[in-house]
């Protein structure tokens, strides 16, 4: 509980019960959570522990738990989060953003991302494509263009492209509009849009986007935009001060000097 809620100095919790279940090795835990100010109505939080004592079951989700609950996903990110990045080349403090170019919430979260770049210069802040084509039909194409922009122009060009795509997001509402928007965004990143488009149509590019989407599933990203802060999932569009508190807390938990 400390690892999950300790970032908030006002948070309070009390374990009310640990109950055996009919399944060996699985216990039901009931916790009441509130805050020291009394402004928050205390609520009951129930979950099941797994036999390995490293995970809990909440609803239909299996969530890392224990003293270092985010260590496994942190390792996965260090090994597989290969998207363009801003900030440090080192992965001591790694903030990985999973986002969809056609998602309005992802667009809104970019203000937070830009602030994080300024406030955490020692962090490595990575962008991973996580398009949702069933909701946003042009999101995969935008991701494919982004892969090619990064490949051809590096991370600096990619983030110029990304800023332009998010700014012109309304243009992604149709196939023709998406082509115009993505070509324009590629030009703003200093690249030839015809070459970017040709690259975007290749099997290799599709495979790169698919791999990023698979990585999202591997670390149980439930929605976009989501950040993994050294493996810890945080909504990227959370209030900025809360987001900053969580990152500072997680860095301290992992022994990283700021």
Q: In what order do the strands lie in the sheet with 55-58?
A: 11-20, 27-35, 43-49, 55-58, 61-64
The span from the CA of 81 to the CA of 104, in Å, is 23
Same domain, 57 and 123: no
pLDDT attached to residue 228: 98
pLDDT attached to residue 56: 92
Same domain, 208 and 137: yes
Same domain, 173 and 109: yes
Helix, strand or coil, per DSSP, at residue 41: coil
Number of structural domains (the chain) is: 2
Pairing of strands 124-129, 11-20: unpaired
Q: Is residue 60 part of a domain?
A: yes
- Written as six digits, the tokens of 94 are 């790694």
Same domain, 51 and 152: no
Nearest to 169 by CA among 98, 110, 237, 101: 101
Phi, psi of 75 (to 5 degrees): -65, -45
Provide the domain limits for residue 44. Answer: 2-68
The span from the CA of 68 to the CA of 249, in Å, is 13
Run means of pLDDT, 10 residues per run, the chain, 258 residues = 84 92 94 87 92 89 87 96 97 98 98 98 97 97 98 98 98 98 98 98 98 97 97 96 96 88
Same domain, 42 and 11: yes
Whole-prediction pTM: 0.91
Same domain, 128 and 191: yes
Cβ–Cβ under 8 Å, residues 248 and 119: no
Q: Is residue 256 part of a domain?
A: no
Q: Is residue 174 part of a domain?
A: yes
């Amino acid at each position: 509980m400390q690892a999950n809620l300790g970032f908030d100095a006002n948070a309070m919790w009390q374990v009310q019960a640990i109950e055996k279940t009919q399944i060996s090795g699985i216990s039901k835990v009931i916790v009441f959570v509130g805050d020291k100010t009394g402004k928050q109505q205390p609520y009951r939080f129930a979950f099941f522990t797994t036999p390995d004592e490293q995970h809990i079951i909440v609803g239909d989700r299996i969530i890392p738990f224990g003293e270092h609950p985010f260590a496994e996903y942190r390792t996965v990110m260090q090994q597989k989060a290969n998207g363009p990045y801003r900030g440090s080349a080192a992965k001591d403090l790694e903030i990985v953003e999973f986002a969809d170019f056609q998602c309005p919430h992802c667009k809104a979260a970019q203000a937070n991302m830009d602030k994080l770049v300024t406030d955490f210069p020692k962090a490595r802040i990575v962008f991973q494509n996580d398009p949702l084509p069933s909701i946003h039909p042009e999101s995969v194409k935008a991701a494919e263009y982004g892969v090619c922009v990064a490949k051809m122009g590096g991370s600096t060009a990619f983030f110029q492209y990304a800023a332009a795509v998010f700014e012109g997001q309304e243009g992604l509402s149709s196939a023709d509009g998406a082509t115009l928007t993505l070509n324009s965004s590629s030009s703003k990143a200093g690249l030839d849009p015809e070459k970017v488009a040709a690259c975007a149509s290749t099997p290799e590019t599709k495979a790169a986007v698919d791999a990023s989407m698979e990585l999202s599933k591997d670390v149980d990203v439930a929605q976009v935009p989501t950040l993994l802060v050294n493996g810890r999932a945080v909504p990227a569009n959370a209030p900025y001060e809360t987001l900053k508190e969580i990152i500072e807390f997680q860095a301290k938990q992992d022994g990283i000097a700021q």
